[in-house]
Structure 1
């Protein structure tokens, strides 16, 4: 009986040790990149949903995005390792801070074409190696909630906030299911 208890405790201890080691295992670079995309995307989406539930008109949501979206992006980046960053960009930006670079434009055009031609979905993540870093691109697709501020029929109140806050605004007139941009996670080569 004592031998059975000893063996059982040994097996349990080994199982606990194995699960602890598994939990501390380093993420692959791809997993790490996707994790950072989810951090930013999940935070922004949950905050935006809360704004839209509190005020279905979308006026509160545009105020939130104007005042908080970039601050949240910056806050998420402070939580990442020094060699990583995450950001949003689009072929049609509203905030000049989110302007794409040449590589972003190239990749977004490819993603947009793939989505339009049904060769890719919003769930895909595109990995791109550059000289300085590896980038992971996650498409953003226009959902019903997005169209309150990014669609074709934006209310005059929301339109006024957009024009006041973003004089060079170019991120409207999207339709449901259209490619709207990407969240990019960038991991510097080490």
Structure 2
């Protein structure tokens, strides 16, 4: 498929294209994202980027678990993971690769989202763009002491070398499909 056509298909989010499941999935992301970002910002304020690395390692999985207590399972994944628990499954990898192609073709990362029924579940992903707060731990100019902390907590880290606005990964959600619609 041509990159521009693919980008257009992936970015399509108008009311006609969105399903009730997609709308419900998308509504789960802001509170999850806000709590994650708030935790990172608080850690940076209180102890700098090293504290943020520690908070991400200790608290981010708990936050995902808290937001997964209802029908939706909520998480994050990437083609370049920091936490090995967030390695994408085959479906997530395929969507992330399409997101990467669309972003390279010029689609803004914040517009990339995809949902579909897969094996009795509704699955949804929404891209995450690298923001300025991410650069201290995910950018190209990471301080040596921060790199040491990352290496300590995430010895298999792949999530460095990003620029602001690039595709960092995606929120990934899933839920069983009931007979009735939401």
Give the TM-score of the pair, scaled to structure 2: 0.81
Find the aligned partners of 1:156 and 1:120 in 2 and give their Cα distance. 31
CA RMSD in angstroms comes to 1.7
Candidates 23, 27, 31, aligned match of 2:23? 31
Q: 2:45 aligns with which of 28, 53, 75?
A: 53
1:68 is aligned to 2:59:
yes
Q: Which residue of 1 aligns with 2:77?
A: 89
User: Which structure 1 segments of 5+ residues have no match?
Assistant: 1-26
For 2:122 and 2:166, the matched residues in 1 are separated by: 26
Unaligned runs of 5+ in 2: 1-18
Structure 1 residue 130 displacement after superposition: 1.1
Quick check: 130-139 or 174-183, which moved more? 130-139
How far did residue 158 of structure 1 move?
1.0
Deviations 1:72-122 (A, max 9, x none): 1112112x23xx211100001111110100111110011111122123431
The count of residues paired between Structure 1 and Structure 2 equals 160
User: How far, CA to CA, are the matches of 2:133 and 2:30 in structure 1?
Assistant: 19
Which residue pairs with 1:108 in the alignment? 96
SS of 1:162's equivalent in the other structure is helix
Contact 1:111/1:120, CA 8 A, preserved across alignment:
no
Is 1:158 aligned to residue 142 of structure 2? no
TM-score, normalised with respect to structure 1 = 0.78
- Aligned pair partner of 2:124 in 136, 139, 142: 136
